[in-house]
Amino acid sequence: MKKSLLAVIVGAFAFASIANANIYAEGDIGLSQTKANGSNNTRVEPRVAVGYKLGNTRVAGDYTHHGKVDGAKIHGLGASVLYDFDTNSKVQPYVGARVAANQFKYDNRANQVYKSSSETKIGYGVVAGAKYKLDGNWYANGGVEYNRLGSFDNTKVNNYGAKVGVGYGF
């Protein structure tokens, strides 16, 4: 009985903290450059994220389509921790760190034989930017980022970019 009561109390506190959190969703698009093996690929890169805010700290999960580099299509599922600086104005700068599982998918066609393979690499990154409060719960977002998408033997895959987007706080 005591364990059940303790579980109910802990669950109630956990639910209350999530219910009071400010959940948000945002979408960004920007110009990014991915470097690997001395080659550079500059392209438009979309990202969507869902997260919640507790005080000045935000935690988010995201999906990013990094595009194609050296014959590999790269997609990432990431988690970010961001800190919003309180400026008491419509502009709110932020900094953050990101960890992601990035999938590198290769399609090989040789001698009429099709072969597909993929590898998942753990990557990390940093981000900095600012949000601008629009009407109601909407905001505009702009930022720069660096991501190490993964390493293969002696090859490091790095991604640099600048993005703009919009977000909505629920």
Diameter over CA atoms, the chain: 69
Residue 55 counted as domain residue: yes
Contact 64, 46 (CB under 8 A): yes
Residue 35 counted as domain residue: yes
Over residues 114-132, the pLDDT tens digits come to 667 788 999 999 999 999 9
Residue 132 counted as domain residue: yes
Q: Tokens in use for 25?
A: 């969703």
Over residues 26-59, the pLDDT tens digits come to 999 999 998 887 777 888 999 999 999 999 999 9
Residue 14 counted as domain residue: no
Residue 138 counted as domain residue: yes
Residue 34 counted as domain residue: yes
* CATH assignment at residue 41: 2.40.160.20
Residue 1 counted as domain residue: no
What's the structural domain count of the chain? 1
CA atoms in the 13 A half-sphere facing the CB of 109: 2
At 62, the amino acid letter reads: D
Phi, psi of 112 (to 5 degrees): 60, 25
Q: How confident is the model at residue 153 (pLDDT cuts 50, 70, 90)?
A: confident
For residue 149, give the 3-state DSSP assignment.
strand
Q: pTM of the predicted model, to two decimals?
A: 0.79
Residue 106 vs residue 146, higher pLDDT: 146
pLDDT at res. 4 = 53
pLDDT at res. 106 = 82
